[in-house]
Structure 1
Amino acid sequence: MTQSIDKPPYFNGAHYSHWKNWMMIFLQSIDYKLWDIIEDGPTIPSKRVGEILIPKERHEWSDQERKQVQLNAKALHILLCALGPNKFAKVSSCDNAKEIWDKLEVIHEGTNEVKETKIALLSLNYENFKMDPNEVIKAMFNRFSIIVNELKGFGEAIPEDKLVRKLIYSLPES
């Protein structure tokens, strides 16, 4: 199955780390500011009234503020269009794109403590990785790629030179 460059990658609940990376690249390719909205949250036009900061009414927004609000709406739209009905139902009450992204992360990756545990387990799998007896190189490489890609999905990228060395050392002497 191929992916259109005009449509966001579809997510039905399977292979979250793959979808997450794919969606991040998709959003950045449309407009890097969309990714900034997901990372930092939307800018809410506001004004100071005495000591208090309150949201501005829509008719008070400047053109620049309207563009910022539009970016969140665009990111929100892209994310919602990418979700299947079950995933949509879990995030449809979110007000902005960052909330959706964060909620999907917690649902599929867990809290920070759960993420740290998963990273520790994946790191252990990486460190102990060896080619199994009677395993073909292609199958070994696929197993290795899954571990490395999952680590990358959690923000634990390993430099290419280390990956190559690890693969070479994982081969049997024969």
Structure 2
Amino acid sequence: MPGIANNGPFIPTETLDSVPAIADTPTIPGTEVILPLSRWEDEDKCRVGIDPKIKTMIAITLPNHVFKSIKKKPTAKGILDYLDVTYDGTDEVRQNKIIALKREYELFFAYKSETLKQTLVRFNSLVADLDSLKVKYIDFE
């Protein structure tokens, strides 16, 4: 699945040899073309079928309200990219979350009206949020 998540669905291709354009001129580099279905090997057919299977696996794990927003995405990579931005945010959003959570961690204290258990729950929630963003909270300056 990592290859599809990074590169998109597999499409069988072949590279045509490079040929000289005209005598005494540089060669034209090889061109990659999509193989016709009749030339696909068994492995190609298997690899092409992985993307729809992954799309199905992702779709059945999502709640209905989320599924409605991803059902028109053509590839598993498109779905994963959409979910990543929707739920994790862009890199800028992640950095802003990290800054806010670090600040909250540095200024953490127990409220007067709160029990020790409530304070611990709030602190553990903050640590879990930092962990989910892969922040090492013991390394803060």
Indicate whether the TM-score tops 0.5.
yes
Partner of residue 51, structure 2 = 72
1:129 aligned to 2:104?
no
Cα displacement (A) at 1:78: 1.1
The CA distance in 1 between the partners of 2:128 and 2:49, in whole Å, is 33
Q: Which stretch has the larger CA shift, 52-61 or 105-114?
A: 52-61
| 1:73 and 1:96 in contact (8 A); partners too | yes
TM-score (ref. length: structure 1): 0.58
Q: Which has the larger radius of gyration?
A: 2
Partner of residue 43, structure 1 = 10
Cα displacement (A) at 1:91: 1.6
TM-score (ref. length: structure 2): 0.69
Partner of residue 24, structure 2 = none
Query: What percent identity do the matched residue pairs reach?
Result: 26
Partner of residue 138, structure 1 = 117
Equivalent of 1:56 in 35, 44, 48: 35
The CA distance in 1 between the partners of 2:121 and 2:97, in whole Å, is 19
Partner of residue 130, structure 2 = 151
Equivalent of 1:88 in 67, 88, 92: 67
Q: Deviations over 1:11-63 (max 9, x none)?
A: xxxxxxxxxxxxxxxxxxxxxxx345334543332222453223333443333
Cα displacement (A) at 1:79: 0.9
Q: Gapped runs of 5+ residues in structure 2?
A: 18-29
Partner of residue 169, structure 1 = none
Partner of residue 25, structure 2 = none
Runs of 4+ in 1 over 6 A off after TM superposition: none
Q: Gapped runs of 5+ residues in structure 1?
A: 1-33, 164-174
